[in-house]
Amino acid sequence: MSMRISSKGASPTEIRMFLRADSAEELVRLQLRNNIKFQAAFSYTDFSQSPVDKKWYCWFLTNAEDIQPQPLVAGNTKRGVANN
């Protein structure tokens, strides 16, 4: 799988995703688990610790067709659709 650092000129199916961890060491372990889970060697970039939540983050590009990310769920929602 070809990974790009910048999304400029990326194909329409490439999406930028991130990993979040409590420590830098945990972030490294999470990267390894992510590579094993998807049987890929992602290029992780933009490592940083948030001054707000003190969590560690890194970003990577992937093909949406390969990973098929789960829909975002926030608050009292189910599969990205708010419950009324």
Q: Tokens for 44? A: 């992780």
- For the CA atoms of the chain, what is the radius of gyration? 14
Report the predicted TM-score, pTM, of the whole model to 2 decimal places.
Answer: 0.64
Cα(40)–Cα(20) distance, integer angstroms: 19
pLDDT along the chain (84 residues), means of 10: 43 85 94 89 94 95 71 46 40
3-class secondary-structure state, position 76: coil
Per the structure block, which two tokens stand in for 46? 């933009």
Exposed e or buried b for every residue in 37-49, given b needs 16+ CB within 10 A? eeebebebeeeee
